[in-house]
Amino acid sequence: MVDVIEIQTHTQSLYEITGQLQSLVHSSGIEQGLCSLLIQHTSASLLVQENADPSAQHDLERWFNRLVPEHDPIYTHTIEGPDDMPSHVKSALTTTTLSIPVMNGKLALGTWQGVFLWEHRHRGSRRRVVVHIGR
């Protein structure tokens, strides 16, 4: 089964998509298999991260913003604004694909794990994630 989920982002932040993915896994009827994801953008990424305490997500964002600052004079790709090139770097340092096992009809995530779309731009955008669920 292949599907696309769309997530409207509003600002630079992590957006949890675990529930949407779990709904797709459930509707697929697959009990044992693999859920593969691809975000179709170069300024956002995907990750598995703690979903119990939002401060972990906040700290991660702050750390990445310090690691990859805006207005760095090394950037030449600046026509789309000061957050665009850092968003490409952040996307390259994280990932645009994920593979999560499906066990007993559910994503095989740990107790405190969730799946997130990580928007790296300040302005919102409609992001597309291709989801393949198979045996």
CB 90 within 8 A of CB 45: yes
pLDDT of residue 95: 96
pLDDT by residue (tens digit) across 66-106?
Answer: 999 999 999 999 999 999 999 999 999 999 999 999 999 99
Q: How far apart are CA 50 and CA 88, in angstroms?
A: 23
pLDDT of residue 113: 98
Domain segments of the chain as ranges = 2-134
pLDDT of residue 45: 98
Q: CA Rg, the chain, in Å?
A: 16
pLDDT of residue 40: 98
- The CATH class for the domain spanning 2-134 reads mainly beta
